[in-house]
């Protein structure tokens, strides 16, 4: 069977690694020109094709994949005269792999459905290194028949591919996941900075904490940076601040109020304000080291 042609929008840390994985598996890729040429040039060097607009990319593709940062960025590529919606054909599938707001996802899904196309949300778990190897966790939701149709491609990218019911459920679960994960990351960063301030060895703190029920993969990621300078998580502080902010907004859209996420968002957003948005989440250890002192 011929492989579907894939239009891929968003060639950052995750998108670039996913594009490499798909091209290695023999998929033909069409990508969008971008101000940052790095990802685009990598795809072209492996035989990919460049489209001039989201509309042109969509017209040339069977499946459109999006992996940009925010819901605003997704919407900027969906709507408008050069957008995906302007080029979509009945039966076509558009997938958002980024971490987006469920409310925006549902609106885009309805607008694509009005053109006879189907939207799936399929946010990602794990790291860019996993993306390159096709070992992501993929939290897909939306029409089950369409999911079954694109599952072979999702299986190329993911080791654990979930179907989670109605459109938006994937994004809802991902936001809850990242509220929890980023709260752990920020708390662990503060724990190392507090140990530094008290003259306690970071590895000694980790040895004690990880011998008990606190041990987690996220704790290990932060320790690997704090003790060995290894940055394996590959997830930017700016995107973490966005995700935990989206989590609070999602609860508020449901008429609820988050009691926990404010602290995490405040720390991550303050690091972004200090110019650390492009640094990786584990580097919150450094930010905490400079910011634990109370203001006099």
Ligand X SMILES: O=C(O)[C@H](O)CO
Ligand Y SMILES: NC(=O)c1ccc[n+]([C@@H]2O[C@H](COP(=O)([O-])OP(=O)(O)OC[C@H]3O[C@@H](n4cnc5c(N)ncnc54)[C@H](O)[C@@H]3O)[C@@H](O)[C@H]2O)c1
Tell me which residues touch ligand Y (CB under 6 A): 9-15, 32, 34, 36, 39, 67-69, 73, 76-77, 98-99, 124, 127-128, 234-236, 239, 243
The CA distance from 153 to 138, in Å, is 11
Q: How far apart are the first and last CA of the chain?
A: 68
Which range binds ligand X by CB under 6 A, 29-37, 122-130, 194-202, 222-230? Answer: 122-130
Partner from ligand Y, ligand X, none binding residue 48, C-beta < 5-8 Å depending on class: none
* Cross-strand bridge partners of residue 138: 124, 161
Our CB check for ligand X shows the closer of 124 and 205 to be 124
Helical axes 237-253 vs 102-113, angle rounded to 10°: 80
Q: List the interface residues with ligand X, window 143-182 (CB under 6 A).
A: 177-178, 181
Q: How far is CA 182 from the centre of its chain?
A: 13
| Pick from 51, 96, 93: nearest CA to 76 | 96
Partner from ligand Y, ligand X, none binding residue 248, C-beta < 5-8 Å depending on class: none
Is residue 125 involved in binding ligand X (CB under 6 A)? yes
Partner from ligand X, ligand Y, none binding residue 188, C-beta < 5-8 Å depending on class: none
Site string for ligand X, 71-110 (x = CB under 6 A): ----------------------------------------
Which range binds ligand X by CB under 6 A, 14-22, 37-45, 123-131, 157-165? Answer: 123-131
List 16, 55, 77, 126, residue binding ligand X (CB under 6 A)? 126
Partner from ligand Y, ligand X, none binding residue 9, C-beta < 5-8 Å depending on class: ligand Y
Our CB check for ligand Y shows the closer of 125 and 195 to be 125
**Which residue's Cβ lies closest to ligand Y?**
12
From residue 29, how far is each of 1, 98, 153 by CA, in Å? 17, 18, 13
Active centre residues (catalytic) = 174
Beta carbon of residue 46, minimum distance to ligand X (angstroms, whole number): 25
Dihedral angle over CA of 27, 28, 32, 38, nearest 10? 70
Is residue 127 involved in binding ligand X (CB under 6 A)? yes
Partner from ligand X, ligand Y, none binding residue 40, C-beta < 5-8 Å depending on class: none
Q: Are strands 63-66 and 49-51 parallel, antiparallel or unpaired?
A: unpaired
Our CB check for ligand Y shows the closer of 68 and 164 to be 68
From residue 3, how far is each of 63, 66, 91, 145 by CA, in Å? 10, 18, 16, 18
From residue 164, how far is each of 18, 27, 95, 260 by CA, in Å? 21, 26, 14, 25
Long-range contacts of 71-76 (CB under 8 A, 24+ apart): 71/100, 71/101, 71/104, 71/105, 71/246, 73/10, 73/98, 74/98, 74/100, 74/104, 74/108, 75/104, 75/108
Beta carbon of residue 124, minimum distance to ligand X (angstroms, whole number): 7
**Which residue's Cβ lies closest to ligand X?**
125
Point out which residues bind ligand X (CB under 6 A). Answer: 125-127, 177-178, 181, 233, 235
């Amino acid at each position: 069977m011929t492989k579907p042609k894939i239009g891929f929008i968003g060639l950052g840390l995750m998108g670039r690694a996913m594009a490499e994985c798909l091209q290695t598996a023999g998929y033909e890729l069409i990508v969008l020109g971008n101000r940052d040429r790095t990802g685009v040039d990598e795809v072209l060097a492996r035989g990919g094709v460049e489209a001039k607009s989201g509309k042109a990319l969509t017209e040339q593709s069977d499946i459109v994949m999006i992996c940009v940062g925010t819901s605003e960025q997704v919407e900027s590529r969906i709507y408008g005269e050069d957008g995906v919606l302007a080029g979509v054909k009945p039966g076509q599938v558009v997938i958002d792999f980024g971490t987006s707001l469920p409310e925006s996802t549902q609106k885009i899904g309805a607008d694509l459905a009005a053109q006879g196309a189907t939207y799936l949300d399929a946010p990602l778990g794990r790291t860019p290194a996993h993306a390159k190897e096709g070992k992501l966790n993929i939290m897909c939701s939306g029409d089950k028949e369409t999911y079954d149709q694109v599952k072979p491609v999702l299986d190329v990218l993911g080791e654990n591919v979930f179907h989670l019911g109605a459109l938006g459920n994937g994004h809802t679960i991902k936001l809850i996941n990242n509220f929890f994960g980023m709260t752990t990351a920020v708390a662990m960063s503060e724990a190392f900075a507090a140990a530094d301030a008290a003259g306690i060895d970071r590895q000694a703190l980790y040895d004690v904490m990880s011998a008990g029920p606190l041990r987690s993969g996220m704790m290990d990621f932060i320790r690997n940076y704090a003790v060995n300078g290894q940055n394996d998580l590959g997830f930017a502080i700016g995107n973490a601040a966005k995700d935990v902010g989206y989590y609070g907004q999602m609860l508020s859209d449901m008429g609820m109020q988050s009691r926990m996420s404010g602290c995490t968002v405040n720390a991550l957003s303050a690091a972004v304000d200090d110019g650390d948005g492009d640094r990786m989440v584990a580097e919150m250890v450094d930010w905490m080291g400079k910011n634990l002192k109370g203001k006099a």
